[in-house]
Structure 1
Amino acid sequence: MTKAPAECQTKEDVRLEIDRIDQALLSLLAERHGYVTRMAEIKTDPHEAYDPTRIEAIIAKQRKRAEELDLDEDQAELIWRTLINWNVNYEKGIIAARKRHG
């Protein structure tokens, strides 16, 4: 049974809830990765993977959402920049490999 933070009475209670959330986050990241892979299949040039205007729009949107959720905006930005940087490099690799092989 899911417990709200205030309902957790022990460190173990808290750890169980964090583990549950981590599993959900990992599942969502895996789902997101499928869409990133598909985007890499659709794009035709490795340079398309890096779109600074779009990246900054995403960061601004996530900072605003973080603020609305009472989450530190700098922490949210760091997480999203890390995710975006990884995705850009991943997309570039897929697109470049496809161009080399075919």
Structure 2
Amino acid sequence: MSDVKQPADCIRKADIRTAIDALDEELLQLFARRQLYVRRMAEIKQHPEEAFDRERIETMVAAIMRRAEELGLEGDQAEQVWRTLIDWNVAYEKRTIAARLDAGR
């Protein structure tokens, strides 16, 4: 992102769009790396019900919201993004673990 302008230096919509596109690419790469850990977790867990840990989720979301607000991002926006991500990951783990167990029968 070295050729991307800082927000205050953007004078055209194209500058902002270029920066957002570059950030979106970085986010996709981070989400893809994160997914590798989710896949590994699904390999380690032994039962589909292990995929959902309410206490862990609520603790994590609260921490994400606090950190988001420290960074100037609305906590509600961060919460919505992370809950969507977590919901998908839980569903993925449940599906994956159940399929592995079915294959082993």
Q: TM-score, normalized by length of structure 2?
A: 0.96
Question: Equivalents in 2 of 1:77, 1:8: separation in Å?
Answer: 28
Match of 1:32 in 2: 34
1:17 CA displacement: 0.2
Question: Equivalents in 1 of 2:45, 2:4: separation in Å?
Answer: 41
Residues 4 and 18, structure 2, Cα contact 8 Å, conserved in 1 = no
Local SS of the residue matching 1:29: helix
Question: Equivalents in 1 of 2:15, 2:68: separation in Å?
Answer: 25
Q: Which amino acid aligns with 1:50?
A: F
Q: Which amino acid aligns with 1:54?
A: R
Unmatched 5+ residue regions in structure 2?
A: none
Question: Equivalents in 2 of 1:58, 1:3: separation in Å?
Answer: 32
Unmatched 5+ residue regions in structure 1?
A: none
1:2 CA displacement: 2.0
Question: Where in structure 1 do 4 or more consecutive aligned residues deviate above 2 Å?
Answer: none
Match of 1:64 in 2: 66
Q: Report Cα offsets for 1:29-80 as digits up to 9, x if no partner.
A: 0000000000000000000000000000010110110110010000000000
Match of 1:88 in 2: 90
Question: Equivalents in 1 of 2:80, 2:4: separation in Å?
Answer: 28
Question: Equivalents in 1 of 2:68, 2:36: separation in Å?
Answer: 24
Q: Report Cα offsets for 1:3-48 as digits up to 9, x if no partner.
A: 1101011000000000000000000000000000000000000000
1:1-102 correspondence runs (5 A): 1-102=3-104
- Number of paired residues? 102
Question: Equivalents in 2 of 1:73, 1:46: separation in Å?
Answer: 30
Q: Which amino acid aligns with 2:43?
A: E
Residues 7 and 16, structure 2, Cα contact 8 Å, conserved in 1 = yes
